Amino acid sequence: MKKAVFPGSFDPITLGHVDIIKRGSTLFDEIIIAIGVNADKKYMFSLEDRIKHLEIAFKEDPTIKIKSYKGLTVDFCKSENAQYILRGLRNSTDFTYEQSIAQANETLAGIESVFLICSPEVSFISSSIVRDVIRNGGDYRGMVPKGIYV
């Protein structure tokens, strides 16, 4: 069984995340959306809300699992018997950032990273942009899955 972990904070989940996960689900038998928990980070949405948002977005897909974890992503992958980490790339800056992490993960644990390029229509969306739009009272509905409105 080919199993991948798609890690992130998902604060909030965006249509960019959905794009990568749905396209990745054609490559893997199971994808675990793994919400990393960092006690030092300030989140806009609680862990419970982020889990709920993900459950709403993927309620129709039994191959998508949602879990949270602390610590190294590769340790979580090993605990879940996942052989791959799935990541989305919006641009060359993302690639430069993700390349070193992928190389470290392969060296540390033999976990391969698989990169998918975001579809052009969602490549501009990031969680930080969505949070900024929310904070300033803008209309963010075209950036997040249906049903994920605060």
Q: Render pLDDT for 91-119 as a digit per residue (tens, 0 to 9).
A: 999 999 999 999 999 999 999 999 999 99
| Number of folded domains that form the chain | 1
Pull the structure tokens for residue 139. 């209309």
Number of helices followed by number of strands (H, E) in the chain: 5, 5
pLDDT at 150 over 90: no
pLDDT of residue 82: 98
Q: Render pLDDT for 55-80 as a digit per residue (tens, 0 to 9).
A: 999 999 999 999 999 999 999 999 99
Active site residue 131: no
Tell me if 68 is assigned to some domain.
Answer: yes
Task: Please give the residue range of the domain that contains residue 82.
Answer: 3-143
Tell me if 148 is assigned to some domain.
Answer: no
Tell me if 116 is assigned to some domain.
Answer: yes
Given 17, 50, 53, 87, the catalytic residue? 17
Whole-model pTM above 0.75?
yes
Tell me if 92 is assigned to some domain.
Answer: yes
pLDDT of residue 8: 96
Query: Rounded mean pLDDT of the chain?
Result: 95
pLDDT of residue 147: 85
Tell me if 149 is assigned to some domain.
Answer: no
- CATH for 80: 3.40.50.620
Tell me if 51 is assigned to some domain.
Answer: yes
Tell me if 120 is assigned to some domain.
Answer: yes
Given 22, 90, 126, 131, the catalytic residue? 90
Chain-centre distance for alpha carbon 34: 7
Active site residue 127: yes
Percent of the chain with pLDDT over 90: 95
Given 41, 42, 135, 146, the catalytic residue? 41
Pull the structure tokens for residue 124. 């501009």
Tell me if 115 is assigned to some domain.
Answer: yes
Residue 30, SS3?
strand
Given 50, 53, 87, 127, the catalytic residue? 127
